[in-house]
């Protein structure tokens, strides 16, 4: 398979996972079902963790690599925990300056937003 075709397939799959997780998250938030929005967040973070493991394996075997932009996009759109966990578990992308800054910053932002929202919900 050509590299362009692999990249197109990766983008379609990535966008599908993002769309599905955000639909679950927003539907759960709108309906007031924390289990549903939690499922959306778990899905996207699990997918990000799997991508980090796959990219680390691909780096060792010189195969098709996941673009860094895709990993950073996932960190910014709901999966910073999965990216950070992948960095810690697989020691992957830990020396890249963008990965030292963006995923932790996004994680803190998500914690602050959810913390503020939960305090407003009187939990």
pLDDT score for 120: 80
Q: How many structural domains is the chain composed of?
A: 1
Contact 21, 44 (CB under 8 A): yes
pLDDT score for 123: 54
* 2 phi-psi bin (left φ>0, alpha ψ -120 to 50, beta other): beta
pLDDT score for 122: 66
Domain range for 38 is: 3-120
Tens-digit pLDDT string for the chain (123 aa)? 788 899 999 999 999 999 999 898 888 888 888 788 788 889 999 999 999 999 999 999 988 899 999 999 999 998 999 999 999 999 999 999 999 999 999 999 999 988 887 788 765
């Amino acid at each position: 398979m050509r590299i362009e075709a692999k990249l197109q397939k990766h983008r379609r799959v990535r966008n599908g996972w993002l769309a599905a997780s955000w639909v679950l998250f927003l539907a759960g938030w709108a309906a007031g079902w924390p289990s549903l929005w939690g499922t959306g967040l778990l899905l996207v973070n699990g997918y990000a963790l799997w991508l980090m493991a796959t990219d680390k394996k691909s780096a060792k075997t010189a195969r098709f690599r996941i673009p860094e932009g895709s990993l950073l996009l996932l960190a910014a759109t709901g999966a910073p925990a999965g990216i950070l966990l992948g960095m810690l578990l697989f020691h992957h992308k830990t020396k890249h300056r963008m990965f030292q800054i963006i995923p932790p910053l996004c994680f803190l932002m998500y914690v602050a937003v959810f913390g503020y929202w939960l305090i407003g919900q009187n939990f």
